[in-house]
Amino acid sequence: MATSTRALLISFFAVVGAFIGSTIWAQRLARGIDADTLFISRGAAPGIELLSNVRAEMRELETQVIRFTDGRGSERLVASTRGRLDSLLGQFRTLPADANAPALFEKMQTALRAFDEAAERTMEKARSGQHARETVEAELRPMGDAASEAIKALIAYDAGAVEAAARRIETERRRADRIAYELDAISALLAIAAAALVLLVIRHSHRVQEENRRIVERKAEELEQFAARVAHDILSPLAAVALALAVAERMSPQAREAVQRGSSSLLRVKRIVDGLLGFARAGARPEPGARTEVAPVVSGLREELEPFAADRGASLRIESAPDCAVACSSGVLLSLLGNLLRNAIKYLGDSQVREVALRMQRRRGRVLFEVEDTGPGVPPSLGARAFEPYVRGAHDGVPGIGLGLATVKRLVDAHAGTLGLRRSPRGGSIFWFELPESDMPERADTMAPHDARAPGSEGGAGAAP
């Protein structure tokens, strides 16, 4: 009786397992079909519609700017068109995309930015009473055509993706039907073996899950301990150096200014270490409610980097920072600007004109930062790969491991920003990034990097690896 019951249970579970297997296989195929269907309905098709509207609004903006230069338009209509264009781009950013689409989107965004800047220059000439027609023909129309072609390329890519997804759906549907019939036909033959296999798999799965759970718990504990050791190993020497500088300041009043500069630099290093350490331990998630005034960070960087540039025979030109704040911690902004400025200074090479410039601009709810150099520039073959970890171009023996730009990209992406690079008219490179502007009130515990005098007074974020 017990043997029969056991055999009956085995047979029952074998049949159930066979049918479950066929169902799982069919669902696996269906997931691919569902993914393609969702991509068409929620990604590519709405994307094509939005891009068509973006192209139309871009042309409408071009028309409104030309009408303004001819005295037949108004800034209100131009601003209204810009608002609609920004809204459409914002909707497009929220759509799902495959791995290749971001490169085309970045190219389109760069082209639209160039067109928008040309439109602004044209209107500025018209406002000042200058003849703006030359700017329309030389800049506005060509930039508009280039932006239109970039939009068309992205539309064509989405249309091709829709066609490919439709073909995959058709193929997978036929394949799913065929496999379902085949699995139903052999399910009885595999019933007993399937039941035994299912039992073995279940037991093995339980063992694997339990082992994975123990591994995850152990790794989490090790990671926390490692982070604590890193913070202690790095921050403890900084505290000792800060104490030494304080003693030197008391013993030698003549060196007070140099000691104070050193203390400010140590504070920035501590903020950098604390911030990036906290950022990494938080799983690459930015600090909620973070807000940083741009001007104090830029002022502190100027003090720190001007001697660094002078040692390399370069001049550092930093424009006045706008009165605004960005939605990140001060250390993150220090890391972004410090990485880009140091890289620009280090890689000037043998250029006769040795200059690095930092420009900042508020742009409709975002703050744009641009770092321009007069060096040899990033090789065209490198392109966007310059932001990948451990990727380096020709560096003529300049030390580094290729993580600076990768850190910049990781931080910008995590803070809902955008970044890129382009060739400078002066022959070098222009690295740019945008961060959302913060309209939240400044927190009481926020301190500008140059206001404190000793490391250990406050943690922040950002580093220049």
DSSP string over 84-113: HHHHHHHHHHTS---SSHHHHHHHHHHHHH
Q: What average pLDDT score do residues 240-253 get? A: 67
Half-sphere exposure of 361 (CA within 13 A, CB side): 9
Please say if the pLDDT value at position 217 is more than 60: no
Report the distance separating Cα 345 and Cα 230, nearest Å. 29
The per-residue pLDDT for 216 is 44
Answer yes or no: are the C-beta atoms of 292 and 333 closer than 8 Å.
yes
Please say if the pLDDT value at position 213 is more than 80: no
- The closest alpha carbon to 283, from 223, 215, 343, 337, belongs to 223
The per-residue pLDDT for 341 is 94
- The closest alpha carbon to 140, from 164, 166, 121, belongs to 121
The per-residue pLDDT for 463 is 35
Please say if the pLDDT value at position 155 is more than 70: yes
Answer yes or no: are the C-beta atoms of 424 and 430 closer than 8 Å.
yes
Q: Which two tokens stand for residue 85?
A: 């264009």
The per-residue pLDDT for 447 is 41
Report the distance separating Cα 319 and Cα 325, nearest Å. 16
Percent of the chain with pLDDT over 70: 68
Mind listing the domains of the chain with CATH numbers?
2-189 (1.20.120.1730), 208-465 (3.30.565.10)
pLDDT band at 460 (very low <50, low <70, confident <90, very high): very low
- The closest alpha carbon to 345, from 370, 380, 316, belongs to 316
Considering only residues 419 and 101, tell me which one the structure prediction assigns the higher pLDDT.
419
For residue 93, which amino acid is it? Answer: R
Considering only residues 29 and 314, tell me which one the structure prediction assigns the higher pLDDT.
314
The radius of gyration computed from the CA coordinates of the chain, to the nearest angstrom, equals: 30
DSSP per-residue letters across 363-413: ETTEEEEEEEE-SS---TTTGGGGGSTT-----TT----S-HHHHHHHHHH
DSSP character at residue 299 = H
Q: Spell 444-453 as b/e; 16+ CB within 10 A means b.
A: eebbebbebb
pLDDT band at 276 (very low <50, low <70, confident <90, very high): low
Report the distance separating Cα 165 and Cα 143, nearest Å. 33
The per-residue pLDDT for 249 is 66
Q: What mean pLDDT value characterizes the chain?
A: 76
Long-range contacts of residues 317-323, Cβ cutoff 8 Å, at least 24 apart: 317/355, 317/356, 317/357, 317/358, 318/357, 318/358, 319/357, 319/358, 319/359, 319/360, 321/294, 321/295, 321/360, 322/294, 322/295, 322/360, 322/361, 322/362, 322/367, 323/295
Q: Parallel, antiparallel, or unpaired: how do β-strands 292-293 and 325-326 relate?
A: antiparallel
pLDDT band at 70 (very low <50, low <70, confident <90, very high): confident
At residue 293, the 3 state secondary structure works out as: strand
pLDDT band at 452 (very low <50, low <70, confident <90, very high): very low
- Condensed to tens digits (0 to 9), the pLDDT of residues 380-401 reads 777 777 888 766 665 555 554 4
At residue 432, the 3 state secondary structure works out as: strand
pLDDT band at 7 (very low <50, low <70, confident <90, very high): low
Look at 24-38, 78-92, 177-191 and tell me which has the smallest mean pLDDT. Answer: 177-191
Please say if the pLDDT value at position 413 is more than 50: yes
User: Beta partners for 421?
Assistant: 431
Please say if the pLDDT value at position 417 is more than 90: yes
The per-residue pLDDT for 418 is 94
pLDDT band at 177 (very low <50, low <70, confident <90, very high): confident
Q: Which two tokens stand for residue 110?
A: 């760069």
Report the distance separating Cα 413 and Cα 419, nearest Å. 8
- The closest alpha carbon to 422, from 369, 380, 464, 381, belongs to 380
DSSP character at residue 45 = H
- The closest alpha carbon to 297, from 327, 331, 323, belongs to 331
Please say if the pLDDT value at position 141 is more than 50: yes
Q: Parallel, antiparallel, or unpaired: how do β-strands 429-436 and 418-423 relate?
A: antiparallel
Please say if the pLDDT value at position 83 is more than 50: yes
Please say if the pLDDT value at position 304 is more than 60: yes
Q: 44-53, 129-138, 229-238, 242-251: which has the highest mean pLDDT?
A: 44-53
pTM here?
Answer: 0.41
Q: What average pLDDT score do residues 156-179 get? A: 81
Task: Tell how far CA 208 is from the center of its chain.
Answer: 35
* C-alpha distances out from residue 146 to 27, 63, 116, 160, 397, Å: 45, 16, 12, 21, 38
Q: What average pLDDT score do residues 28-37 get? A: 76
Considering only residues 230 and 269, tell me which one the structure prediction assigns the higher pLDDT.
269
- Type and span of the H or E element at 155: helix 141-186
- The closest alpha carbon to 55, from 95, 94, 92, belongs to 92
